[in-house]
Structure 1
Amino acid sequence: MKKVTSDTEQQSLFWLIKTNSGRLSEADIQNFKIWLKASDDNHKAFRKASLLWRTLAYAPTLSEQPKLLEPEKKLRKKRQINSWYAVAASLVICMFITLMPELEQPTAPSEAEIVSTLELRTAKDEIRQFTLLDGSKVWLGAGSRLLVKLGSSSRHTQLLIGEAMFDINPNPQLPFYVQAGDADIKVLGTIFEVQKRNSGILVKVAKGKVRVAAQNQYRYLEMNESIHFEKNKVLPLPSKINPESFAQWRSKRFHFVNTQLKDVLHKLNRYYKSIIYIDDPSLGDIPITAAFQLNQLEQLLNSLSSIHNFSWHKDVYGNIHIKTNESEISF
């Protein structure tokens, strides 16, 4: 019967092998410290795994061997003992790896395994639901693109741009993966969303569980948890979210926290029928914290313009232009 380990045990085994590999990067060290301090259970599990490692991986020294042996017998005996411990240590490593199936890197199905390949996309100002061949459902935000490869042994998707919400049909024999930027997401539950932003990747879980891996780091997210991370940065710990904040873009409602104006407009331009321009690039760095419906955009701009030094207007085509008050408005 196959032994089943807890997430904490799997993580401790992963870090045990990683820290003994001799190939730890600065990001690895920082991420290991974060994991170790996250809970007492993590610390205890790592100490237990380390003790087992030391017990099996180190041979007794020569001074601990019988001194009555002849020199050549001593050498032969030492080689035998060291060889046995080397084999034992290798077996321990193999055992650790087999106990950590969740840490395997996802492999896209080969051409021979592919059952279905398609690209899902939505137009500007379009939100659409798709049903995959396996019965899973996908919702794409406006101006989004998702590549889908369904194989005979796994299911792989890649979010190229925008937002996607997934309701996955569970099948342990066909694991489901989502790639977004540098992030690889393995589905261990059912309902979650992924947003590919200029500032990084955002993952939220409404039901079930997912594993997010990036930069040789990983985190598990459960119901009502999210994670937002930037490229080449340490993967942060999951944070709790309000269930009402899940996939708000489906109803064209948006929530931004300390987000630069240029990034806010980059997203809104996929949902807004016309185009929103920043005529003065210096305004793009203004931090925005707001929650609003898309049909409240003009009201939002009026509020922001009273706080920050800019004005806005519409041209004859209905496009919005944002510029500083000192700039001369030209039509």
Structure 2
Amino acid sequence: MQRPPSKAPTADEPQSSDHGQLHQDPHWASAMQWLLWMHEAPQDEKLRAACHAWQQASPAHAGAWRRAERAWHLSGQLPATSRERWPSTRRRRFAVIGTAIAACLALIMVLLPWHGQGELANGKGAPRQIVLEDGSRVWLMGDSVLRPHFSEHQRQLELLQGEAFFEVVPDASRPFLVRAGSNRVEVTGTAFSVSLQDTRFEVAVEHGSVRVEDPRHQTLLKGGERMHLDIRDNLLRRDRIAPERAATWRHQQLIAEDQSIGELLEQLRPHYPGWILLYDSGLAEQQVTGVYNLEDFEGALAALVQPHGGRVEHWSPYVLVIRR
């Protein structure tokens, strides 16, 4: 097994949101990966020291580690003090790890706070289509949460995390508003997507027009236009796209244009109801271009990494490992 990089993540990484949800914590996956490394080599002192350094690098890291340990412990798989506690063969050891991960995934829903009635959520996996009470349609990407607030005078929805595509029924008497953090998108009748991922906010319009407002900008977007806002640095970019390129995940497609494998894996994670672990930092930096069919998720993942010598190992129904 390839060891983790010698340089621990820094405290400058994005912090988790105030909602306190594990699936919104950008450090949760890292903490679970450290746990896997530790359980694969429980007597490796260098690995233990590197893990400790990662925990000490930031209070957010330490908090994610405690939550990951708790979920692992509740699954009955913690602690493991020596290799002898694992089954003797490599395949069976991976199966034990996969079982623990599966239990952790089930426990996440127990550990999450409840937001109240009326919330629309889609767990990791395939997109979900919802028809709202006014006839408008919403597609929710995996690992996304939307909270509707409809009244006699307006239609308002709050995107708490993830990405959603809206096909809005026109109604001039009731504006259609989407809030995402401190950002607001207003339309009457149009089709567009809104994405809120950590410190990144993006809007893309398929047809019609929308007005996007944030604390410092006001932007009018028409069909075939897209804007991307880095909330942390307040950097706004605007470009043109083919209208059909807005939220291609609705059609179970991933389109890559000279993008790194590491960046694309972050886009793919919400579409897989388990863990995707990458054990090669060099592979993460490789650039790819192509169209990938997410209906065959593992096939798409293999097609993404194989041109650069990568392979996908199926450790369990819940764990995919990429290495060279």
Identity over aligned pairs, percent: 29
Note if 1:165 corresponds to 2:165.
Answer: yes
Give 5+ residue unaligned stretches, structure 1: 1-116, 326-331
Inter-CA distance 167–320: structure 2 relative to 1 (3 Å threshold):
same
Matched ranges for 1:88-167 at <5 A: 118-167=118-167
Inter-CA distance 145–128: structure 2 relative to 1 (3 Å threshold):
same
* Residue pair 1:256, 1:290 contacting (<8 A) in 2 also: yes
* Residue pair 1:198, 1:263 contacting (<8 A) in 2 also: no
Return the alpha-carbon distance in structure 1 between the equivalents of residues 300 and 126 of structure 2.
22
Return the alpha-carbon distance in structure 2 between the equivalents of residues 290 and 199 of structure 1.
26
SS at match of 2:196: strand
Inter-CA distance 300–172: structure 2 relative to 1 (3 Å threshold):
closer
**1:204 positional shift:** 1.6
Inter-CA distance 171–295: structure 2 relative to 1 (3 Å threshold):
closer
Counterpart of 2:218 in structure 1 is 218
Counterpart of 2:234 in structure 1 is 233
Amino acid in structure 1 at the alignment position of 2:148? V
Return the alpha-carbon distance in structure 2 between the equivalents of residues 216 and 166 of structure 1.
24
* Residue pair 1:141, 1:163 contacting (<8 A) in 2 also: yes
* Residue pair 2:123, 2:142 contacting (<8 A) in 1 also: yes
Return the alpha-carbon distance in structure 2 between the equivalents of residues 306 and 131 of structure 1.
39
**1:226 positional shift:** 1.6
Return the alpha-carbon distance in structure 1 between the equivalents of residues 303 and 172 of structure 2.
50
User: Which structure is richer in relative contact order (CA contacts within 8 A, separation 6 or more)?
Assistant: 2
Deviations 1:150-193 (A, max 9, x none): 12332221112222111222222322111224421111432111
**1:251 positional shift:** 1.6
SS at match of 1:174: coil
Counterpart of 1:314 in structure 2 is 314
* Residue pair 1:123, 1:143 contacting (<8 A) in 2 also: yes
Matched ranges for 1:230-309 at <5 A: 230-231=230-231, 232-237=233-238, 239-280=239-280, 284=284, 286-295=286-295, 297-298=297-298, 301-302=301-302, 304-305=304-305, 308=308
Q: How high is the TM-score relative to the length of structure 1?
A: 0.54
Q: How high is the TM-score relative to the length of structure 2?
A: 0.55
* Residue pair 1:258, 1:289 contacting (<8 A) in 2 also: yes
* Number of residue-to-residue matches in the alignment: 208
Return the alpha-carbon distance in structure 2 between the equivalents of residues 227 and 259 of structure 1.
18
**1:311 positional shift:** 4.5
**1:284 positional shift:** 4.6
Counterpart of 1:177 in structure 2 is 177
Return the alpha-carbon distance in structure 1 between the equivalents of residues 318 and 118 of structure 2.
35
SS at match of 1:118: coil
Inter-CA distance 177–253: structure 2 relative to 1 (3 Å threshold):
same
SS at match of 1:179: strand
Return the alpha-carbon distance in structure 2 between the equivalents of residues 260 and 197 of structure 1.
18
Inter-CA distance 190–284: structure 2 relative to 1 (3 Å threshold):
same
Inter-CA distance 309–156: structure 2 relative to 1 (3 Å threshold):
same
Return the alpha-carbon distance in structure 2 between the equivalents of residues 129 and 296 of structure 1.
20
Counterpart of 1:7 in structure 2 is none
Amino acid in structure 2 at the alignment position of 1:315? W
Inter-CA distance 286–122: structure 2 relative to 1 (3 Å threshold):
same
Structure with bigger gyration radius:
1
Greater CA drift, 267-276 or 171-180: 267-276
Deviations 1:15-73 (A, max 9, x none): xxxxxxxxxxxxxxxxxxxxxxxxxxxxxxxxxxxxxxxxxxxxxxxxxxxxxxxxxxx
Inter-CA distance 153–119: structure 2 relative to 1 (3 Å threshold):
same
Return the alpha-carbon distance in structure 2 between the equivalents of residues 140 and 159 of structure 1.
10
Greater CA drift, 130-139 or 197-206: 197-206
**1:299 positional shift:** 5.0
Note if 1:186 corresponds to 2:182.
Answer: no
Return the alpha-carbon distance in structure 1 between the equivalents of residues 298 and 273 of structure 2.
13
Amino acid in structure 2 at the alignment position of 1:236? R
Return the alpha-carbon distance in structure 2 between the equivalents of residues 314 and 199 of structure 1.
32
SS at match of 2:118: strand
SS at match of 2:163: strand
Return the alpha-carbon distance in structure 1 between the equivalents of residues 221 and 262 of structure 2.
29
* Residue pair 1:168, 1:191 contacting (<8 A) in 2 also: yes
Inter-CA distance 310–199: structure 2 relative to 1 (3 Å threshold):
farther
Return the alpha-carbon distance in structure 1 between the equivalents of residues 212 and 294 of structure 2.
30
